[in-house]
Amino acid sequence: HSFAFTGSLIWYPAFLTRVHGFESGAIGTLLAFGSSLPTALGIVLGGMATDRLQRRDPRWITRVAGVTMIAYAPFALGFLYFEAWPLALANLVPAALMMGMSVPGMHVATQALAPAHLRALASAVTLLVLSVVGSGLGPFAVGVMNDLLADRLGDEAVRYTLSIVGLTPVWSGVHYLLAERTLVRDLAHRAAHDADAS
């Protein structure tokens, strides 16, 4: 999840410059309104949806994240491959929205499954891993793949590299959905553990 989010976001300006010929000012405006704002809105909407749905069935904690991560991929690829700019932008906005909506479930699951006395540590470890994989590995991997493909594909290499990264959320989404199988049992075990501890 973090690998795709940060890896893509860092390299979108290069993609827009090399493939579509955008200037830096236009890129900043476009990504602010086409990516940053929809991502922020998605985080709020994902939190609201997760809160509401998990009251009926706790498996929605990871289900919202899983469904939105899988839904992200086709929109991300649409943004990369539509040559007509309005169509590309029409795919970027829902891709960013889906990416944002997937975030709350991850943090809710972390807090819900961690014993009360370890919740701060669980958050710290989660954020550490997200930073290392997302900010550290994501952009680096995109750069390495881009360099490997650049001789054969030229400026188009960044499109194909971002396509590979754009598909990794499907793997993330599948694992969110697989977590449903044991989530209810794990939550009950954690609640019993907390009750015994008190």
> What SS3 state is found at 106?
helix
| Chain segment 14-58, per-residue pLDDT in tens | 888 988 888 888 888 888 999 899 999 999 999 999 999 999 999
| Chain segment 53-111, per-residue pLDDT in tens | 999 999 999 999 999 999 999 999 999 999 888 898 899 999 999 999 999 988 898 88
Who contacts 149 (Cβ-Cβ below 8 Å, separation ≥6)?
Answer: 157, 160, 161
Mean pLDDT of 128-136: 83
Q: Report the sign of the C-alpha dihedral through residues 37, 54, 175, 177, in that order.
A: negative
Question: Full-prediction pTM beyond 0.85?
Answer: yes
Who contacts 113 (Cβ-Cβ below 8 Å, separation ≥6)?
Answer: 122, 186, 187, 190
CA distance 124 to 157: 36
Task: With beta carbons less than 8 A apart as the criterion, state whether 12 and 31 touch.
Answer: yes
Residue 11 pLDDT > 80: yes
